[in-house]
Structure 1
Amino acid sequence: MRRLILPVLILAIALAVFMLLKATKPQSKDVAIQEKAWPVAALPVETGEWPTTIMLYGVVDALRYAVLSAALPADVEQVHVIEGSQVQAGDLLVELDDQDARLDLIQRQADVAKAQAAIAVQESRHQADLEALPNERRLYKLVQAEVARLLDLKKKQVSSQSTLDTARQNAARQSISIARIEESIRTHESKMLELQAALARAQAALEKAQLQLQRTSVRAPFDGRVVRVRVAQGHRVNVGAQLLDMFENTSLMFRAMLPAIYVPQVRKALADNKQLVVTGKVDGVEVEGHLISLGAEVRQGSGGVEALFLIDSGWDWLQKGRVMQLRLTLPKQAGVMPVPFEALYGADKVYIIDEEQRLRPVIVERVGEVWLDGRNRVLIRSDKLEAGQQLLITQLPNAVESLLVEVVPGD
């Protein structure tokens, strides 16, 4: 019995301890799981009219860029400018050796004088022919009368045959002389035309020689700045050799790539004769220009159209090829709202915070940018944006529809 009672007693004690422990264990409370609300910033929806501002990046170029070349083979006598020199129209830039040009000019002047002398001789000869022709004709009549008289005497056997033959020869010579004078008078006009043509050729050659002499002094074609000097004193240049490059001061322009999404607005503004202005600061100096043209070619892979802006102010110190960043202002558009870039998710999605403080996605149209309060903001438009709604302007990495948020006041 002792052996049977002991195990039963141990089991009873163990059971009693278990029941005691179970009865005295701490009671756990049910914890309600609460959804986390993400703190965010919001902006009340308010649409209106806003101008589009586009940040453009481009380079300084020139509408009038000249590469001055040599018009004749010569040695460079002297170069009067260096790179960066400011010059006025007509300023002497490069001097070429003019000895050959001067000798050629003397020859052409002699040719002109010779042609003029030939015309004077022809005029004098023609005048002499006109005066001599009546006398020659009277003399011919006298010779003919002499022949007739000798012929009559010959019939009467009073005169010899040799005397008659001599008179006939004189008559023939006189007839030939008259014919030559008449021919000279008839051809006077054609000879004068020929001589005048020769004079015109000589004068043209003289003017060309004078022009070549002038071209030995290379002068600035306009007010501008020298970009590059390609020769130095002592260089031998041939026809067409490049001497220096320069551009006109007032022809500097800003060449930038205009994104394709803004091209329709720009074309409409141009069609309405609205002036589109770019502004900005470069090295602390205000630069301003206006749109003059859109490029005629779209480069492959560019994603836009090249736009040309003539620089109106600030051009006097700019260098060709300088990279600049300027803002283009387009006409105002209605029904748009400026928002921070953080409000955009992807290319065209924003989130509205509903009455339950949950996110609702809205697809919007990006219509441009605007410079506001020292920051660049994006302009959006959508029929689903209504006044009074709260627009999420915090960039959440886990933003999804119906996400619970809490709008925190302040910036």
Structure 2
Amino acid sequence: MKRLRRLLLPLLIIAVAVGVFAILKATRPHGKAIEVKEKSWPVAAQPVELGTWPTNILLYGAVDALNFSVLTAALSADVRQVHVIEGSQVREGDLLIELDDADAQLDVQLAEADLAKARAAIAAQESRHQADLQALPSERKLYQLVQAEVKRLQDLSRKQVGSRSALDAARQSAARQAISIARIEESIRTHESRILELEAARARAEAALEKARLQLARTRILAPFDGRVTRVYVARGHRVNLGGRLLDLFENDSLMFRAMLPAIYVPQVRQALADKAALEVSGSVDGRELKGHLISLGAEVRQGSGGVEALFLIDQGQDWLQKGRVLQLRLTLPDQENVLPVPFEALYGSNKVYVIDDENRLRPVKVERVGEIWRDGGNQVLIRSPELKNGQRLLVTQLPNAVESLLVKVVADD
């Protein structure tokens, strides 16, 4: 009996343990399965509607002048009077600055005296020449008479009747008369060369007088064109030297807008210039309308600029616009076909957008930026791509985690 108990006791313990385990297993709590659901991101979208749109480019630049003059002193003198100030509107020929002309007046008088002397020398030479022409026949007749006297005295001397001293005196008189004739003839022969020399002296005197008068005129600084004074460097009583700066001014009609054209638009602009298309810029400055047109593209690309300098001549607003003013104007390019205007938030990088497929997942599309346009009170970018089709939905929300196949939920149309 005791032996039977010893055998049953372990079996009973094992059976109790198995029963307790079965009860615990049957009564254990059961956890609910967690269903993982993919998150969708709320976004805005716009329908793709390809069409023809004009291209606008917002340009930033400064006002410059094609014709900007720095007026300098052509002589050393004191400033007598300044008639303009900075910002003055001037007309061509207006008196801007007067310099002291006392020295210039004296130079003119000296040049006039030299010219009068040169003219008098020419007149004297002409008078001598006329006198020589009139005297030469008489001198030759006189020479013939003297020669006849010498011959008569020689005949008397051979007959030993005449005086030797009288013959010598006659021969001396004939020699002197020959010399006088030779001098007159030489004066007549050299008349033309002397006249040329004196004419050259007169020309020099006339040039000196013209130069003196020019220097005198330069004491009055006149406006070379219609324009505005930007800076005055002198005042009354100021001493200026040759080449000294007096004032700066620019021509009204030469005002231009100098801006940097982004490199991606340079081919379009060059093509438009080749096609003789009018490329205009416009904008508003201080509540006034400003307009201009493209006249040239820069011949040099500055390092690190990322574009080409474009020059626009101002057509409307040049009478009040200030040189150096920083502006932002819009350049209008010819219409582009099969393009879509989208907000800048739709662009990822420089050439990628996302379309939303039928499963509300993002699909990347590479695009070409062809320009910008002012639309709905804001600046938008024009894009083109063969993968864009009418009716597609385009993501216009900037998502930092935008990747292909990302699940989104369109909550608003742009």
Is the shorter-chain TM-score for this pair beyond 0.5, marking a shared fold?
yes
Q: Which residue of 34, 40, 47 corresponds with 1:37?
A: 40
Within the candidate set 252, 256, 259, 1:256 is matched to 259
Residues in 2 aligned to 1:306 and 1:345: alpha-carbon distance in whole angstroms: 27
2:136 to 110, 113, 133: 133
Counterpart of 1:225 (choices 216, 225, 228) is: 228
Deviation at 1:406, TM superposition (A): 2.3
Q: TM-score, normalised by structure 2?
A: 0.92
Tell me the amino acid that sits aligned with residue 218 of structure 2. R
Matching residue within 361, 378, 382 for 1:379: 382
What does residue range 9-408 of structure 1 map to in structure 2 within 5 Å? 19=23, 30=33, 32-408=35-411
> What is the percentage of aligned positions where both structures have the same residue?
72
Q: Distance in 2 between matches of 1:269 and 1:136?
A: 89
Compared with structure 1, are the counterparts of its residues 363 and 329 closer, same or farther at alpha carbon in structure 2 (3 Å cutoff)? same
SS in 2 for 1:315: coil
Instruction: Check the 8 A contact 2:365/2:387 in 1, yes or no.
Output: yes
Distance in 1 between residues matched to 2:60 and 2:264, nearest whole Å: 16
* 1:109 to partner: Cα distance: 0.4
Number of equivalent positions: 404
- Partner amino acid, structure 2, of 1:377: Q
Take 2:225 and 2:277, find their aligned partners in 1: how far apart are those partners? 30
Encode CA deviations 1:104-160: one digit per residue, 9 max, x unaligned: 111100001010000000001101111111111111111111111111111111211
Q: In structure 2, what residue type is equivalent to 1:327? A: R
> How far apart are the structure 2 equivalents of 1:251 and 1:142?
85
Per the alignment, do residues 409 and 301 of structure 1 end up closer, same or farther by CA in structure 2, a change over 3 Å counting?
closer
CA contact (8 A) 2:45 2:413 kept: no
1:24 Cα shift?
A: 8.0
Give the structure-1-normalised TM-score: 0.93
Q: Distance in 2 between matches of 1:399 and 1:236?
A: 71
List per-residue Cα deviations over 1:73-109 (Å, max 9, x = no partner).
Answer: 1111111111111111111111111101101111100
The structure 1 segments of at least 4 consecutive aligned residues displaced by more than 4 Å after TM superposition are 15-19, 21-32
Structure 1 unaligned blocks of 5 or more:
none
CA RMSD of aligned residues (A): 2.2
Choose 40-49 or 221-230, whichever is displaced more.
40-49
Question: Which consecutive unaligned segments of at least 5 residues does structure 2 have?
Answer: 1-8
Separation of aligned partners in 1, 2:49 and 2:123: 94
CA distance in 2, matches of 1:201, 1:31: 113
* Distance in 2 (alpha carbons) for counterparts of 1:358 and 1:58: 42
Q: What CA distance in whole angstroms lies between the structure 2 residues aligned with 1:409 and 1:102?
A: 85
Q: Secondary structure at the match of 1:311?
A: strand
Aligned equivalents of 1:160 and 1:321: distance in 2? 107
Q: Residue 228 of structure 1: SS of its match in structure 2?
A: strand
- Measure, in 2, the Cα distance between the counterparts of 1:187 and 1:319: 68
Aligned partners of 1:384, 1:258: CA distance in 2, in Å? 28
